[in-house]
């Protein structure tokens, strides 16, 4: 059902089964809106409770302010409109989590990535643009419809809103490229609508089924790692741990016993791995980052795992971390270089805390 949120009083499932959180992103006129509607019909036809959400949600008072701005009926400072976009997502966060936990899959046309891409394309600081989004739920799947700005400009209705200008869309495309995560599914938006639809259906259905089987809901990026988040990342990288095993790992690392691993505890765990008895644990950590199992960790792999764990780092931060220990200059770190990187992390952490 499109934008029908009246069933938010459904009881939250206790068994872990839930709906999938699927986001479609892309340039204006890339085909997101049409494909979102088709996905809604497809999943409903298979019997999966599904809703279609769109951001900005123009039904709220904040959304109406955004709508007036987009249609050139009002003028707002770039920083102000960015914060309004973010607030529009925040006012739906609680309902979003309720719906997902109740078993409803959400197909979301535009999310935080659009906000960051469009605002940074105006020249706003990239990291500043990302900051208001910290704490929002992370999608299970991001589908990016990739189409050249020139092709999008040829489609009907182009130019009706403020941002639909070719040069600006080129800048947005560059910002999306900087935002892309290795987990995103990139779809060739120049294919026929039917070809795109077929690809999206299979990808989305796989994620819907996985979420129904109990895939943990991604928690907001708050700088802490919960047991569910740790288990979810380990599972995604091919490692299976029982609940009891995960609890033992958490108990070993979580020194303040608040139920989470913070950055200090993570760094201390890495530091303790410098002795011979803990080297195998450090090797396990290395294998977690080394997702393609080639014996090296790239900046993309480091960026993906750290952000999945809720430890916010930009791609540039990850590149600098690797560069600082990359003795052979190959742009990656091997196990020995990884040990040096972890030791440097602990040293920096101790310096910042005055230890």
Residue 269: inside a domain, yes or no?
A: yes
Residue 298: inside a domain, yes or no?
A: yes
Per-residue model confidence (pLDDT) at position 34: 95
- Segment 75-133, tens digit of pLDDT: 999 999 999 999 999 999 999 999 999 999 999 999 999 999 999 999 999 989 998 99
Domain hosting residue 249, numbered range: 227-353
Helix (H) or strand (E) holding 112: helix 112-121
| CA dist., res. 288 & res. 301, Å (int) | 9
Residue 331: inside a domain, yes or no?
A: yes
Residue 221: inside a domain, yes or no?
A: no
Residue finishing a domain among 187, 212, 237: 212
Q: How would you list the strands of the sheet with 141-146, edge to edge?
A: 50-54, 105-109, 21-26, 141-146, 185-188
| Same domain flag for 151 and 245 | no
**196 and 36 Cβ atoms separated by less than 8 Å:** no
Which residues, 6 or more positions from 173, have their beta carbon under 8 angstroms from its beta carbon? 27, 148, 149
Q: What are the structure tokens assigned to 1, written together?
A: 């059902």
| Same domain flag for 34 and 62 | yes
| Same domain flag for 42 and 151 | yes
Could you tell me the maximum CA-CA distance found in the chain, to the nearest angstrom?
67
| Same domain flag for 146 and 198 | yes
Per-residue model confidence (pLDDT) at position 338: 84
pTM score, whole prediction: 0.62
- Segment 294-310, tens digit of pLDDT: 889 988 888 777 776 66
Residue 326: inside a domain, yes or no?
A: yes
Residue 4: inside a domain, yes or no?
A: no
Q: What CATH number does the domain containing 107 carry?
A: 3.40.50.300
Q: How does residue 211 score in pLDDT terms, banded at 50, 70 and 90?
A: very high
| CA dist., res. 223 & res. 266, Å (int) | 11
Q: What CATH number does the domain containing 305 carry?
A: 1.10.238.10
Angle at 129 between CA 70 and CA 62, to 5 degrees: 40
Q: How does residue 228 score in pLDDT terms, banded at 50, 70 and 90?
A: low
Residue 13: inside a domain, yes or no?
A: no
How many domains does the chain fold into? 2
**170 and 118 Cβ atoms separated by less than 8 Å:** no
Residue 15: inside a domain, yes or no?
A: no
Which residue shows structure tokens 């196990």?
335
Residue finishing a domain among 185, 212, 239: 212
| CA dist., res. 168 & res. 144, Å (int) | 18
Per-residue model confidence (pLDDT) at position 51: 99
**187 and 180 Cβ atoms separated by less than 8 Å:** no
| CA dist., res. 238 & res. 75, Å (int) | 50
| CA dist., res. 64 & res. 345, Å (int) | 46
Residue finishing a domain among 179, 212, 245: 212
| Same domain flag for 146 and 294 | no
The pLDDT of 14-34, averaged and rounded, is 89
């Amino acid at each position: 059902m499109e934008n029908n949120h009246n069933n938010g009083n459904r009881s939250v499932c206790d068994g872990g089964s839930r709906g999938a959180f699927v986001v479609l992103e892309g340039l204006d006129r890339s085909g997101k809106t049409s494909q979102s509607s088709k996905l809604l019909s497809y999943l409903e036809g298979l019997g999966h409770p599904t809703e279609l959400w769109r951001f900005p949600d123009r039904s709220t008072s904040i959304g109406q302010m955004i709508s007036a701005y987009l249609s050139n009926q009002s003028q707002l400072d770039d920083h102000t409109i960015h914060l309004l976009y973010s607030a529009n997502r925040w006012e739906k966060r609680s309902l979003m989590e309720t719906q997902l936990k109740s078993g409803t899959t959400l197909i979301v046309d535009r999310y935080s990535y659009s906000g960051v891409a469009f605002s940074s394309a105006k020249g706003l600081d990239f990291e500043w643009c990302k900051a208001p989004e910290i704490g929002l739920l992370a999608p299970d799947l991001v589908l990016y419809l990739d189409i050249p700005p020139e092709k999008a400009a040829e489609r009907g209705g182009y130019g009706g809103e403020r941002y639909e200008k070719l040069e600006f869309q080129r800048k947005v495309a560059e910002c999306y490229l900087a935002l892309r995560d290795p987990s995103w599914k990139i779809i060739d938006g120049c294919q026929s609508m039917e070809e795109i639809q077929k690809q999206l259906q299979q990808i989305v259905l796989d994620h819907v089924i996985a979420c129904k089987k109990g895939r943990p809901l991604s928690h907001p990026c708050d700088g802490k790692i919960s047991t569910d988040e740790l288990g979810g990342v380990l599972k995604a990288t091919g490692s299976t741990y029982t609940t009891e095993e995960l609890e033992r790992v958490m108990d070993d690392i979580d020194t303040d016993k608040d139920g989470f691993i913070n950055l200090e505890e993570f760094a201390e765990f890495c530091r303790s791995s410098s002795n011979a008895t803990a080297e195998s644990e450090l090797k396990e950590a290395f294998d977690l980052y080394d997702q393609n199992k080639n014996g090296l960790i790239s900046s993309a792999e480091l960026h993906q795992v750290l952000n999945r764990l809720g430890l916010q780092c930009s791609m540039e931060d990850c590149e600098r971390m690797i560069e600082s220990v990359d003795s052979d200059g190959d742009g990656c770190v091997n196990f020995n270089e990884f040990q040096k990187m972890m030791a440097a992390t602990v040293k920096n952490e101790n310096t910042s805390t005055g230890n």
